[in-house]
Amino acid sequence: MYLPGARTRTWFTVAGVVGNVRHHGYQDTPAAEVYQPFEQAPGAQMTVIARSRIDAAKLTPALRGTVQAVDPSGKLPPVERTGEMLRETVSDRRHRSLLLGAFAALSLLVAMVGVYGVVAYSVARRAREIGVRMTLGARPVDVLHMILRDGVKLALAGGVVGLAMALWLSRALSSFLFGVGPWDAVTFLIASATLGVAVCLASYLPARQATRIDPAATLRNG
């Protein structure tokens, strides 16, 4: 092959093909990449990547000795681990993502408390109705399912509204994402499932309390 942008047509032998490379950040779009021997394309600086199971602090003297064996006047710059470099690159977005995650968890907790309060209030208001149902033969499991269905209806209504808002805001939040599209179906499915589980958990305790209603006492007091 030859490089289209070169001034002269120089042919090179393809030794291998690698995956996409992001040199300046994981958020950048991968561009065309060509690796050449240093002797063919010398530069002012050289970056050497060494893969080893030895700790970087113990590997540094060996690398320094290797560089000085090639060029006694050469100096080895500070050795950095790829993991540390990657953490520095993503540190800002990681902090923002953690902050958003904390707010999301707090919002989910507030939503669970709200659902619990609404369902518990509904159970208190419908105590006489539940007592009549149990007197007419409704089993505790039937009452449990009835109250949980009300909670699921709340989850569905909230899920539809939340999904619409999430689709609307997805473009604005796309800068916080990496490797995930703003309209990723799996992400929305997981979020919807999480909301559904949270609502069911919040509705379960009032539903259990509804199954313990004494029909005779409820009808007598009503």
Q: How is residue 47 annotated by DSSP?
A: -
Cβ atoms of 129 and 217 within 8 Å: the answer is no
Write down the domain spans for the chain.
Answer: 47-79, 91-221
Q: Does the global pTM surpass 0.95? A: no
Cβ atoms of 111 and 158 within 8 Å: the answer is yes
pLDDT at 38: 77
10-residue mean pLDDT series, the chain (222 residues)? 60 78 71 77 75 78 80 75 76 80 88 86 82 81 85 79 77 63 74 83 85 72 59
pLDDT at 173: 66
| Residue 59 C-beta-side C-alpha neighbours within 13 Å | 12
213 Cβ contact list (under 8 Å, min separation 6): 127, 130, 131, 134, 143
Q: Is 29 helix (H, G, I), strand (E, B) or coil?
A: coil
Between CA 115 and CA 202 the distance in angstroms is 6
pLDDT at 106: 92
